[in-house]
Amino acid sequence: MNAASRFLLVSALAVSVTACVTINIYFPAAAAEKAADRIIDEVWQLRDAAPDAPAAPAAADAQGETK
Amino acid sequence: MKVASSFTRWFAVVLFGLLLGGAVQAQGNLEVNTPAIATLKQSMQQRHARLAPLYASGAVGLAADGSVALRDAGSVPLAQRGQVNGLIAAENADRAALYREIARANGHPEWESDVRRTFAQRWIDRAQPGWWVQKSGAWVRK
């Protein structure tokens, strides 16, 4: 029982350590693209300077002032 | 028995943690909110007011490597050429620092070239009509 639980502990540790390494080792291309777009929006001022609400100003522009 | 059940519980906690980690990763947001990145964005935003007319005239184009380049020196009066070159150099320094900072802020300095490649593609894709962009080595007007 002791050996079994030790095996469980070691394998769980091994799994969590390798998972931590592999999870972040690949470049997140889609996330980078989103981040790039946000920064380009700001640098080129393609949308109103509202970094917290990127979609809202564009929608508001399209809608105009209609009520 | 008591030992085994405590380990089972511990194992469940580890599994839950892994699931949580996977969920966070699946959302996939890159950290871009650091003071260094904010400063670079600000500096590039201010410079853009002076670069935009140069993009529009075709004097400066968006290069395939994520930088900006003097495309048509002839369209810049000789007297202003030094100033334009200075703008380009400053912009490229900021861009290089931005790519480096984003990679560093995410704990992966080796991602710098990937970040640069991603930005290069997005700068070009989002360039305004009339601007010049570099595609497979050749300058193309959008």
CA distance B12 to chain A (A): 10
Task: Tell me how far CA of residue A66 lies from CA of A53, A60, A61, A63, in angstroms.
Answer: 20, 10, 11, 7
Residues 6 or more apart whose Cβ sits within 8 Å of residue B2: none
The number of residues making up chain A comes to 67
Whole-number pLDDT of residue B39: 98
Confirm or reject contact between A17 and chain B (CB < 8 A). Answer: no
Residue of A nearest to B112 (CA): A27
Average pLDDT over residues B7-32: 66
Burial (0-12, 13-18, 19+ Cβ within 10 Å), B120: buried
CB contact under 8 A, B118 and A40: no
Whole-number pLDDT of residue A62: 43
Q: Which domain holds residue A9?
A: 2-63
Query: What residue spans of B58-138 are helical by DSSP H?
Result: 78-105, 112-125
Average pLDDT over residues B2-21: 64
B76 pLDDT higher than 50: yes
Q: Which candidate, A44, A58, A50, places its Cα nearest to that of B41?
A: A44
Confirm or reject contact between A36 and chain B (CB < 8 A). Answer: yes
Question: What are the E-state strand segments in B23-85?
Answer: 60-62, 68-70
Is ipTM beyond 0.85?
A: no
Whole-number pLDDT of residue A21: 56
Q: CB pairs below 8 Å between A and B: how many?
A: 81
CB contact under 8 A, B108 and A27: yes
Token pair belonging to A34: 């989103």
Q: How many domains does chain A have?
A: 1
DSSP 3-state assignment of A59? helix
Query: Starting from the edge strand earliest in sequence, which strands make up the sheet with B132-135, in order?
Result: B68-70, B60-62, B132-135, B138-141
Whole-number pLDDT of residue A5: 85
Q: Which candidate, B31, B40, B90, places its Cα nearest to that of A28?
A: B31
Whole-number pLDDT of residue A65: 41
Residues 6 or more apart whose Cβ sits within 8 Å of residue B85: B70
Average pLDDT over residues B128-132: 97
Token pair belonging to A55: 């979609």
pLDDT per residue, tens digit, chain A (67 aa), is 588 888 888 888 877 766 665 556 799 999 999 999 999 999 999 876 544 444 444 444 444 444 4
